[in-house]
Structure 1
Amino acid sequence: MGSPNGYTTLIVRTLVGQHLLESAVANGKLSTTDELNLGIIEKPGAKKLERKQK
């Protein structure tokens, strides 16, 4: 969601998750890019929040 073809969006939510991501990148297990369409990610999040508030 929001990533170019062939990539997956990863959202880091904790400090432990950030360390795991950094370790995976440092060990060549993952690569990262800043290419991202935030609008595609934010839209479902806004809808979820709206449903929760009802």
Structure 2
Amino acid sequence: MSRRGLMSEELKYEIAKELGVDHIVSTQGWGGVSSRDCGNIVAKAIEIANRKVGGQ
């Protein structure tokens, strides 16, 4: 079962921009982003999701 598409491209790019790796995405695509930075993007997305769930 594929889990692609759970996070919108817009949200991923917004987080990448916040973490300072948006220039890599712009020039090299998501494949150019390091594993560490991808992990940081996922961690930030989880943090945002937890805040939304906690605020309901």
The bucket for the TM-score relative to the shorter chain is 0.3 to 0.5
Q: Which has the higher relative contact order, 1 or 2, with Cα contacts under 8 A spaced 6 or more apart?
A: 1
In our comparison, the structure showing a higher alpha carbon Rg is: 1
- Relative to total residues, which structure has the larger helix share, 1 or 2? 2
